[in-house]
Amino acid sequence: MPPGAYSAVLFDFGGVLTTPVWDSFAAFCEKEGLDPATIKDLFRTDPEALALLRKLETGEMKEDEFESRFGAKLGLEDHPHLIDSMFAGMVPHEEMVGAVRELRAAGTTTALVSNSWSTNHYDRDLLAELFDTVLISGEVGLHKPEPEIYLRAAEEAGVEPAACLFVDDLRENCEGAEAVGMTAIRHRHAGETIPKLAELTGVELSLSG
């Protein structure tokens, strides 16, 4: 599509608008005396661990049950505030947040599409500032990379999927967006993603945050 043909941009949160999730997990593991790759390896090799996360992110499992069952896999059964501690190392990525602000100020519809369990873990004022619509998997009962959440996001944004750009750091989530007709940008770093967004939307974006 030509520049300016995309009228909505959908963003993932963790690892796109924040520092990498895996870095936060690694820092947590080191603090607890575990191998830094412990959580990453669990999610990549243990189907039960991944199923626990999915149930948390779709609202099928409460936080305390996840903490008990996932903590047992880490040998941290009685860890207080396990989830908060695992994600504590994530901080906003100012350049990417700035790009969302600039896109919205230019009239582009912006949406958050995040696999998570509650907006209570987000800065609500920041969400209201950045996004026209917010879809959290645990609140809507839909989950990336399944097609329904992308279609719901496009519907709430008031555009067809083909008019949407989707930005995520995970390959499978980008493939899910492409499967419903969206154009996906696999986020690796701001220096690559922001110029691509500027090129495809026709909006001048800065790399200064």
Per-domain residue ranges of the chain: 8-20+92-201, 21-87
Instruction: Flag whether pLDDT at 1 surpasses 70.
Output: no
Identify the weakest region by mean pLDDT among 53-62, 84-93, 114-123, 195-204: 114-123
Instruction: Flag whether pLDDT at 209 surpasses 60.
Output: no
Q: Identify whether the C-beta of residue 52 lies closer than 8 Å to the C-beta of residue 60.
A: no
Burial class (CB in 10 A: 0-12, 13-18, 19+), 188: exposed
Q: Once rounded to an integer, what is the mean pLDDT over residues 15-31?
A: 96
Question: How far, in Å, CA of 22 to CA of 100, rounded?
Answer: 23
**CATH class given for the domain over 8-20+92-201:** alpha beta
Confidence tier at 120 by pLDDT (50, 70, 90): low
Structure-token pair, residue 124: 């609500």
Q: For residues 149 and 119, which has the higher predicted lDDT (pLDDT)?
A: 149
pLDDT of residue 207: 80
pLDDT of residue 208: 64
Q: Once rounded to an integer, what is the mean pLDDT over residues 158-173?
A: 98
Q: Identify whether the C-beta of residue 103 lies closer than 8 Å to the C-beta of residue 197.
A: yes
pLDDT of residue 2: 61
pLDDT of residue 4: 64
Give the chain's mean pLDDT: 94
pTM of this prediction exceeds 0.75: yes
18: Cβ contacts below 8 Å, ≥ 6 apart? 90, 91, 92, 93
